[in-house]
A and B are shown apart, each in its own frame.
Chain A
Amino acid sequence: MKRHDIYTLPILIWLSLFFTIPLSITVIMSFMSSTPYGGVTLPFTVGNYVEIMKGRILAILWRTIRISALSTLITLGLSLPVSFFMATSKWKNLLLMATIIPFWTNFIIRIFAWIFLLGNNGMLNNILIQLGIVKNPITFLYNSWAVVVVIVYTYLPYMILPIYSAMEKFDFSMIDAAMDLGATKIRAIFKVMFPSIKGGITAGILFVFIPALGSYAIPELVGGRDSVMLGNLIAWEITTARNWPYATALSNILFVSTALALFLYLKIQGSDGK
């Protein structure tokens, strides 16, 4: 230990106690078995993982990845033009604040807004019924599309902010320069601007994709039978079934999927940068 380590000692202790040790406990517990009364017991076993690989869990894992990837793609598609417009706009500070306000509005309230709009007793159904267009409410929610829309809605600022932040540092006269040298506008954007905002795009994709993988509240509130995600399963195992070893095994699967996604992404990102 060096004398100056005193500065980092508190964080070292805190994060060891409340991050590294809990993660280790989670890994260890996933190799144990549950007792009928909600406890855990030895000996060590891989039974939980075998159980997961056998059943319908793989389908849920695959669906979780699909829903997250689709939401991330849509979010990216919306964020690129919006960030571009914001970064080149006269009112960029105003637009920036306009994106931050929903970001700082409570997460659960933002989900509630969609239940209010599209729910069976929601606003849209009320209007449709009053106009006589339909007799009975249409079920807009409680399917995987609703889950995708609400994920896009709640995580959009997480994608816009890093991309905007990268674009804002970009010198837009470079695009004009490239065009003066004969590049088309599309080509100029791809070849000149894209490389310098790539970091922002990577950050945005990770900020949306990873929390989406761990979604619980959104599929719980606006999803249905066809949109149960890994997070719902984990929560169910913990709160209702009280099978901790099984729940931690599921968590570890989510952890490995996240690490894999991160690794693959950084690999792709690294290779086309050369």
Chain B
Amino acid sequence: MRTYEVIFISAPGTADDDLTKLTTQLEQTVTTRGGIVTKTEHWGRRKLAYSIGKYDEGNYTLLYIDGTGQEIAEVERRLRVTDFVIRHITVRTDEDLKRAAKVKAKRKPTAAGRVPGEDLNLDLDDSDGLSEDEE
């Protein structure tokens, strides 16, 4: 299973109804194809860093999708044909997140009771723990 994040920006004048309709529609397309929308975030109206077409602001919606990739194709197609969506992007996140989780897990044992300059004292800490156990 892959995880994706789909962000799209809808034009500021879009009716709330249209937006909710689109998001539910997208969720349906995903679920009928065997994927899951794990979370939907509405960031609301945000100022764009640069103007897109004639818009300075946009309504951001973020979907977290678990799936195989097929449903993404359909979601993207829908976003492309929807007029009030002015920009969208899909990012596959599972590989990077998995890697991040691995790094985090690896660091955890040594990160407990972290003090500045702990990298230097790593051996000391370990041997202390051992000797106590032996006694």
Q: Do these two chains interact?
A: no
Residues of B at under 8 Å CB distance from A? none
Residues of A at under 8 Å CB distance from B? none
